[in-house]
Amino acid sequence: MASLSSLPKSISESPCSAIMGSLFDTSFVRQNLSIPGSGFRYAPLKIKGRPCMETKVAPGTLQTTDFSDSVLFDVPILSGSEVMERLKANRENIKGKQLFLAMYSSIFGGITTDPATMVIPMDDHMVHRGHGVFDTAAIMDGYLYELEQHINRFLRSASMAKISLPFDRETIRSILIQTVSASKCRQGSLRYWLSAGPGDFQLSPSGCQQPALYAIVIQDQSPPNWKGVKVFSSSIPIKPPQFAIMKSVNYLPNVLSKMEAEKDGGYAAIWLDDDGYVAEGPNMNVAFVTKEKELLMPSFDKILSGCTARRVLALAEELVKEGKLSGIQVRNVTVEEGKTASEMMLIGSGVLVRPVLQWDEHLIGNGKEGPVAEALLNLILEDMKNGPTAVRVSVPQ
Ligand SMILES: Cc1ncc(COP(=O)(O)O)c(C=O)c1O
């Protein structure tokens, strides 16, 4: 057991100046309470009562530090309409690259196109316990790409996460299409979530009144990026298969793995499964082309069954017919096979098909974007633009 002296210092034991320094600094208040450019003004920080005293804590006693007697933040208490006004001002000041065009929420039972109102309840079990699942679909030229395949996975994820459906499949599908229609988006993506819903802040979802459905349409007109990237082996552990095969909102390992790769100039970090075989990236699948010109993809039993990867497997048959590939295999792939492949690529609805030129210190093939990755990207793009109705759902505008 850790001794009391080795534990991090409690607030009451910390040097008074460090805490009070930040509290007295009015820029702290401005950063935390003001909305740049909104015109809202705040009175300076008010301090009342006695000066901060350093308190010693007797071993084995519980300590609490009550600042309410010494410091008073000038936090405004707002009416609903004032909150709305501030949410709008806040949105207008976010200079993000992405435009959110429409949101559906089963909580308010409709669609909004005002980004300031695209919010979800704090007591939603997805927010405070991660009890939610999600999925996506690309919007290309006003069509939803692979919507049915993504909805099927969405519903499988919901069943694995024991989230019951607020509506039947047809209604969910119709809500998603209507949300895209209201957005008038022609290029971008649709993202949607099912959660256990709002209710209370308990661990058990038994207090959640009813499951919730949310969807948002994001405009993205950037062309697909074909430039080859570098990847690293992830030091962040992969999720156990039970969680890796469902698309839950628990993406912390994925986020940390992406950040780890970016820190070293990489695009993504690659996970191996618990038997040491190549698994997947944080939001994409991987594939290789062997020296014998075979397309090789890790099997999907312990990773997310990627809709794009599965579509690539079907479209790649064309390349076999043309003699550009000698065959297609979905099986366990060793790291040795992966690193000595003549091509490696990342595959997903976000990246589409992105060549990998280097994995850790190993150059893949000749270190240049390869012909099979290029052909597969072109096949996917063509499929998105002119594919069969099984993969393209028209959105009424
Ligand atoms: C962990 C993980 N693997 C693979 C994929 C690729 O799946 P898809 O092609 O359906 O986007 C994703 C993307 O959502 C993912 O998050």
Tell how far the Cα of 242 is from the centroid of ligand 1, in angstroms. Answer: 15
pLDDT per position as a tens digit, 264-320: 999 999 999 999 999 999 999 999 999 999 999 999 999 999 999 999 999 999 999
Mean pLDDT check: name the lowest of 34-43, 228-237, 331-340, 369-378: 34-43
Structure tokens at 11: 């607030």
Average pLDDT (17-23) is 34
SS3 state at 91: helix
Tell how far the Cα of 303 is from the centroid of ligand 1, in angstroms. Answer: 9
Provide the CB-side half-sphere exposure for 265 (13 A, CA).
Answer: 6
Place of tokens 């690529």: 345
Q: Angle at the Cα of 92 (from 91 to 97), degrees rounded to 5?
A: 80
Q: Which residues are catalytic?
A: 247
Average pLDDT (169-180) is 98
309 within ligand 1 shell (Cβ under 6 A): yes
Q: What pLDDT score was predicted for residue 24?
A: 34
Q: What pLDDT score was predicted for residue 397?
A: 86
Q: What pLDDT score was predicted for residue 51?
A: 42
pLDDT per position as a tens digit, 88-121: 999 888 877 689 999 999 999 999 999 999 999 9
Ligand 1 atom with least separation from CA of 244: 1
Burial (CB count within 10 angstroms: exposed 0-12, middle 13-18, buried 19+), residue 201: exposed
| The three-state (H, E, C) secondary structure of the chain, written as one string | CCCHHHCCCCHHHCCHHHHHHHHHCHHHHHHHHCCCCCCCCCCCCEECCCCCCCCCCCCCCCCCCCCCCCEECCCCCCCHHHHHHHHHHHHHHCCCCCEEEEEEECCCCEEECCHHHCCCCCCCHHHHHCCEEEEEEEEECCEEECHHHHHHHHHHHHHHCCCCCCCCHHHHHHHHHHHHHHHCCCEEEEEEEEECCCCCCCCCHHHCCCCEEEEEEEECCCCCCCCCEEEEECCCCCCCHHHHCCCECCCHHHHHHHHHHHHCCCCEEECECCCCCECCCCCCEEEEECCCCEEEECCCCCCCCCHHHHHHHHHCHHHHHCCCCCEEEECCCCHHHHHCCCEEEEEECCCEEEEEEEECCEECCCCCCCHHHHHHHHHHHHHHHHCCCCCEEECCC
The span from the CA of 396 to the CA of 333, in Å, is: 43
Average pLDDT (177-186) is 98
Place of tokens 């976010």: 94
Q: What pLDDT score was predicted for residue 98?
A: 80
Tell how far the Cα of 306 is from the centroid of ligand 1, in angstroms. Answer: 5
pLDDT bin (cut points 50, 70, 90) of residue 71 is low
pLDDT per position as a tens digit, 341-362: 999 999 999 999 999 999 999 9
312 within ligand 1 shell (Cβ under 6 A): no
Given this chain, do its domains 96-219 and 229-386 carry the same CATH topology?
A: no
pLDDT bin (cut points 50, 70, 90) of residue 72 is confident
Q: What pLDDT score was predicted for residue 325?
A: 98
Ligand 1 atom with least separation from CA of 282: 1
Q: What pLDDT score was predicted for residue 69?
A: 56
Superfamily (CATH) of domain 229-386? D-amino Acid Aminotransferase, subunit A, domain 2 (3.20.10.10)
Mean pLDDT of all residues in the chain?
87
Tell how far the Cα of 268 is from the centroid of ligand 1, in angstroms. Answer: 13
Assigned fold of 96-219: D-amino Acid Aminotransferase; Chain A, domain 1 (3.30.470)
Average pLDDT (309-332) is 98
Average pLDDT (364-387) is 98
Q: Where are the domains of the chain?
A: 10-94, 96-219, 229-386
Q: What pLDDT score was predicted for residue 96?
A: 73
**In the predicted model, is pLDDT for residue 12 greater than 70?**
no
Q: Whose CA is nearest to atom 16 of ligand 1?
A: 283
Q: Whose CA is nearest to atom 14 of ligand 1?
A: 283
Q: What pLDDT score was predicted for residue 238?
A: 98
Q: Whose CA is nearest to atom 4 of ligand 1?
A: 284
**In the predicted model, is pLDDT for residue 49 greater than 90?**
no
Tell how far the Cα of 191 is from the centroid of ligand 1, in angstroms. Answer: 13
105 within ligand 1 shell (Cβ under 6 A): no
